[in-house]
Amino acid sequence: MTQAVDSYEATRDQVAGWLRDHWDPELTVRQWWAVLADSGWGFPTWPSEWFGRDLEPVLSGAVREAFAQVGALGPPSSLGQLLGGPTLLTHASEALKERFLPPLARGEEFWCQFFSEPGSGSDLASAQTRAVADGDLFIVNGQKVWTSGAQWADRGMLVARTDPDVPKHRGLTYFIIDVDQPGIEVRPIHQMNDAHGFNEVFFTDAEVGADRVVGEVNDGWAVAVTTLAFERFMSAFGASPGKKAGLLDRRAGEVASGAVRGPREGAAYGADLASLVTEVARARGLAGDPVTRQGIVDLYIQQELGRMAGLRSAAAVRAGRRPSGDGSVRKLARSDLMRTAREVGEAVLGPHGTLRTVGEELGGGTIQQVALSSPSSSIAGGTDEIQHNIIGERVLGLPKEPQVDREIPFRELRVGTQRTGS
């Protein structure tokens, strides 16, 4: 353990030293990310020949600490950098790596993930979006939904069905598709918290080159599983890349300080919600009410448990360990915290909770935003049900649910919009 801690601290100090020598807040974001890409410290776990440092994943936390310590802007952060890059490094041809890794490492492109569909959310293998070969192209028709950031994306990681006559896991292909083309329509989903980060996306004779296949045709399931595996350990600490995000030509120091923000949306997950609700209870004269006090205590306990779980995970990383199922446990705890904050916070606000705008003494609208955002915390990044399955199967060793359709040709399945009689 001592050796692992020493390695962690040595890495942190090395990165911090490099940053003190090279971080220049007067550079544009574009210029700074180009410097980071060339240094390998933007994506240090990538191979050294592909903008990385061959760093062990357990030392990624040391790099993040160094950036925070110096106050430097972190690397570009979209699903392309966090999921697409690692997936390309695992499965793509050299030609695809040469085409896509440089703009990802330099933050020139924003990618999204075309996986979920209206009839196949958690069951990705039952995707119905079709990609039909036509010479050097594939023609894509279908629909994806809950696609985060599609309106800002330059490209998307697309899983589409290329052979409906084989079982569902064997007829999928993984593509990198250009979003800006006539055959792709992006419709932002306006949520009740006034955010619109999710989208539904329609493909009508959209085109993607046969040279954009990652892995092999009809073997996209294995590639998609790799992407999902990286998603469980995703940790963004930089800023939104790509020209549509509007940050590339801003001063890096402005973005690092938070004075300029990119297209990030969501509730105040990191806020001290227990203290906020306590102050609102005092302002409304409810601090002595026993029911209110019990609710606030419950909220405080959940918040502290989440904080301590984060500290435990950080300590495990420093010691060279990755706790099994830890990410899923923390994800579930965050969902519970958001629901508790919604119930306790709205109860304390009383009739004021129906208003979008209230004074700072009543939280300034933060509690209402948390309440309206709370359902998404149980969905985004993997539903609570998926997290329970991961814990059951990978931590507790429970058997998987039976899959009776695994060897049935996809064309014969009654899934999604193929269902009849409903």
Q: CA-to-CA distance for 335 and 332, rounded, in angstroms?
A: 5
User: Which of the following is catalytic: 9, 98, 231, 343?
Assistant: 231
With tokens 């619109």, the residue in question is 196
Residue 251 bridge partners (DSSP) = 28
Backbone φ and ψ for 410, nearest 5 degrees, come out as -60, -35
Amino acid in position 72: A
To the query of whether residue 231 is one of the catalytic residues in this protein, the response is yes
Q: CA-to-CA distance for 366 and 349, rounded, in angstroms?
A: 11
Q: 23: exposed, middle or buried (C-beta count within 10 Å: 0-12, 13-18, 19+)?
A: buried
Would you say 77 and 89 are in contact if contact means Cβ atoms under 8 Å apart? no
| DSSP codes joined into one string, 337-365 | HHHHHHHHHHHHHGGGGG-S---GGGTTT
Amino acid in position 329: V
Would you say 127 and 413 are in contact if contact means Cβ atoms under 8 Å apart? no
Q: CA-to-CA distance for 198 and 189, rounded, in angstroms?
A: 6
Q: CA-to-CA distance for 279 and 285, rounded, in angstroms?
A: 10
Element (H, E) at 315: helix 290-318
The alpha carbon of residue 145 and the mean position of all alpha carbons in its chain are separated, in whole angstroms, by 15
Q: Using the 8-state DSSP alphabet, how is residue 106 labeled?
A: T
Backbone φ and ψ for 328, nearest 5 degrees, come out as -70, -40
Q: CA-to-CA distance for 203 and 184, rounded, in angstroms?
A: 5
Residue 186 bridge partners (DSSP) = 201
Contacts (Cβ under 8 Å, ≥6 apart) of 80 = 104, 109, 110, 111, 155, 157, 241
Is 34 strand, coil or helix? helix
Structure tokens at 309: 């779980």
> Which positions are annotated as active-site residues?
231
